[in-house]
């Protein structure tokens, strides 16, 4: 039984983009890119997500390659993503 995690950016528009993410590494790289290319400080992201700034820093720098799913969900939500999990059609 295989499953895929799908995230959507800008869910309020008709131009929503779905991206299947097949590994936690791919998801973590997406989050690191967002953290590194935003003008927000780690402490601002941390305050909004209720995470420690060091957690944000470690994801951004690649030290943490497999964050907890709860951390991933908080960060995806912060960056404006909606996430769903559904079974792939055979």
How far from each other are the two terminal CA atoms of the chain, in whole angstroms? 9
State the pLDDT at residue 1: 40
**Cβ neighbours of 17 (radius 10 Å):** 11
Interval 70-90 mean pLDDT: 84
- pLDDT of 6-21, one tens digit each? 566 655 555 556 667 7
* C-alpha span between 60 and 34 (Å, rounded): 8
Which residue, among 1, 55, 57, 62, has the nearest Cα to 30 in the 3D structure?
62
- pLDDT of 35-74, one tens digit each? 999 889 999 999 999 999 999 999 999 999 999 989 999 9
State the pLDDT at residue 7: 61
DSSP 52: -
- Tell whether the model's pLDDT for residue 77 goes beyond 70: yes
* C-alpha span between 7 and 76 (Å, rounded): 8
> Residue 4 — very low, low, confident or very high, per pLDDT cuts 50/70/90?
low
CATH code linked to domain 3-87: 1.10.260.40
Domain boundaries, the chain: 3-87
């Amino acid at each position: 039984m295989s499953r895929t995690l799908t995230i959507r950016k800008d869910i309020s528009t008709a131009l929503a983009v779905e991206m299947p993410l097949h590994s936690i590494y791919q998801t973590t790289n997406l989050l690191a890119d967002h953290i590194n290319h935003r003008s927000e400080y780690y402490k601002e992201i941390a305050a909004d997500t209720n995470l420690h700034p060091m957690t944000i820093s470690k994801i951004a720098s690649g030290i943490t390659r497999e964050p907890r799913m709860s951390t991933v969900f908080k960060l995806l939500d912060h960056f404006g993503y909606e996430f769903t999990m559904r079974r792939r059609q055979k």
